[in-house]
Amino acid sequence: MVMVGYEGVRKRFGSVEVLKGIDLAVQSGEFVALVGPSGCGKSTLLRLTAGLDAVSDGRVTIDGRIANDLPPQERDIAMVFQSYALYPHMTVGNNMGFALKMRKQPAADIAQRVQAAALTLGLDGLLDRLPKELSGGQRQRVAMGRAIVRAPKVFLFDEPLSNLDAKLRVHTRIEVRELHDRLGATSIYVTHDQVEAMTLADRIVVMHDGVIQQAGPPLALYDRPDNLFVAGFIGSPPMNLLDGRIEGQDGNSLRVALDIGGHLVAAASGGPAPAGTNAVVAGVRAEDLRLDNESTALQCRVRAIEQLGHESHVHALMGSTTRICVTTRERTGLRPGDAIGLSVAPERVHLFDRASGRRL
């Protein structure tokens, strides 16, 4: 059942169009991550969902009802803000119970729900403290507690972990997902960090320039990016992208001549190649490249080696300007300046039309 629906949603600020037609259906109980670089419109979309800004065109529906004209107060949603937005003059307990108080719930009821949420989040000793007496991590939990106590239809998260240090972030993101599962909630989570999105979401929605680039389960986006933007955005280190031309088809294989020199063989996707063009971009993930001594391999020169312990990143240069990154689990003996050859299995090559960016 669709809990939050976006139909042709557009948002303009003055003459600038920030959202250019968003169509998306978030199912009940789903955890959807909105990811993208700054300015892509993800936070704007979240604010439209909350009712903090008004939709310019299109419809937002919440639990089947058109929400366009509903003010935030009426939408039965809760939001966790990036800077937590706790009320500085209220205790933790009052912060968490505030929304229920505004809805005139009986005091005993509020106290019980606040207590329950505090226990879940490990805040039960802190209910009488003021926000300024808490650490960043504790404040983050209070922000979450404030949302949980409401038991709303939809949870909205606006980069809630970005103010935490790295270690706490990893720890807390697991808890966020656990809470979501336990409450059976519907969550929409905005982040610029694709690792967070990959680890948390049932479905990732990649946005760029006000448009949805691709929406789907994390591994689907990882294994089959629909376009160049998603290919370069998801995955770390980013996918290697090489310009080339399709020279010919050989049964199930496409022969691609790289502009920089050398050839790749890619598995044909089964669909017909778009007519009239053979200019493509070939994408290969760093972990799919193999060191190869065959003459058919791509010739590169090593620039730098990064040893991370569990894997090594080999940064190489093809020609004089094209950078390639290879990751391997082995400890290599390579050194800067060494000449190496790289090859890749045909099924691991992604081909994109150079002009439109779309997957072939």
Partner 1 sequence: MASFASAGLRLAGRGVVFGYTLLILAPFVWIALSSFKSQIQILTNAMVFEPVLDNYIELLFSKSASFHRNIANSLVVAAASTVLALAIAASAAFTLVRLPLPNWLRAAVFSWALLFHMLPTITFVGPWYVMLNSVGLSNGYVGLVLANVTHHLPMALWIVAAFMRDIPEEILDAARIDGCDERSSFMRIVLPLVMPGLAAAGALVFLFSWNDFIVALNLTAAATRTAPVAIATFAQEHDVKYGEMAAGAMLTTLPALLLLLLGQRLIVRGLLSGAVK
Partner 2 sequence: MGRACAAMTVLRRNNLLWRWLSLAPLLALLIVFTVVPVAGLVWMSFHDRQWQSGIGVWRFVGLDHWREFTSNLYYWPGLRNTVVFAVCAVSLQMLLGFFMALSVSRAQGWLRGLLTTVFLLPVVVPPIVIGAMWKLLLGTEFGGVNAALALLGVPAIDWLGNPALALPSIILVDVWHWTPFVFILLLAGIEGLPQDALEAARLDTLSAWQSLRHIMLPLMAPTIAITLVFRIILTFKVFDEVYLLTSGGPGTATEVVSFSIQRTFFGRDDVGLGSVMSVFTLFVVALLAVLAIAASRRRRSD
Binding residues for partner 2, per CB under 8 A? 65, 69-71, 73-74
Side chain identity at residue 211, one-letter code = V
130 touches partner 1 by CB under 8 A: no
Q: Residue 341: name its binding partner from partner 2, partner 1, none (Cβ under 5 to 8 Å by kind).
A: none
Q: Which residues contact 353 (CB under 8 A, 6 or more apart)?
A: 274, 277, 279, 280, 281, 359, 360
Yes or no: say if 326 and 289 are a contact pair by the CB < 8 Å rule.
yes
Question: From the CB of 263, what's the least distance to partner 1, in Å?
Answer: 54
Q: Which is nearer to partner 2, 73 or 162 (CB)?
A: 73
Q: Residue 65: name its binding partner from partner 2, partner 1, none (Cβ under 5 to 8 Å by kind).
A: partner 2
Which residues ranging from 36 to 55 are in contact with partner 1 (CB under 8 A)? 50-52
Q: Which is nearer to partner 2, 73 or 356 (CB)?
A: 73
Phi, psi of 301 (to 5 degrees): -125, 135
Question: From the CB of 110, what's the least distance to partner 1, in Å?
Answer: 12
Total of chain residues touching partner 1, rule CB under 8 A? 23
Nearest-angstrom CA–CA distance, 271 and 287: 26
Question: From the CB of 183, what's the least distance to partner 1, in Å?
Answer: 18
Phi, psi of 148 (to 5 degrees): -65, -45
136 touches partner 1 by CB under 8 A: no
Q: Residue 223: name its binding partner from partner 1, partner 2, none (Cβ under 5 to 8 Å by kind).
A: none
Which one among 39, 71, 122, 274 touches partner 1, defined by CB under 8 A?
A: 71
78 touches partner 1 by CB under 8 A: yes
Question: From the CB of 75, what's the least distance to partner 2, in Å?
Answer: 10
Closest listed residue to residue 353, CA positions, set 275, 251, 239, 265: 275
Q: Is the dihedral of CA 69, 73, 77, 82 positive or negative?
A: positive
Q: Which is nearer to partner 1, 33 or 79 (CB)?
A: 79
Which residues ranging from 300 to 339 are in contact with partner 1 (CB under 8 A)? none
14 touches partner 1 by CB under 8 A: no
Q: Which is nearer to partner 2, 73 or 135 (CB)?
A: 73
Q: Is the dihedral of CA 11, 16, 21, 25 positive or negative?
A: negative
Yes or no: say if 301 and 338 are a contact pair by the CB < 8 Å rule.
yes
Closest listed residue to residue 200, CA positions, set 47, 83, 30, 6: 30
3-class DSSP assignment, residue 181 = helix
Q: Which two tokens stand for residue 233?
A: 């955005």
Q: Which is nearer to partner 2, 70 or 267 (CB)?
A: 70
End-to-end CA distance of the chain: 33
Q: Which two tokens stand for residue 241?
A: 């992208």
Q: Which is nearer to partner 2, 62 or 190 (CB)?
A: 62
Q: Which is nearer to partner 1, 23 or 87 (CB)?
A: 87
3-class DSSP assignment, residue 139 = helix
Residues that bind partner 1 (CB under 8 A): 50-52, 71-73, 75, 77-79, 81-83, 85-89, 98-99, 102-103, 146
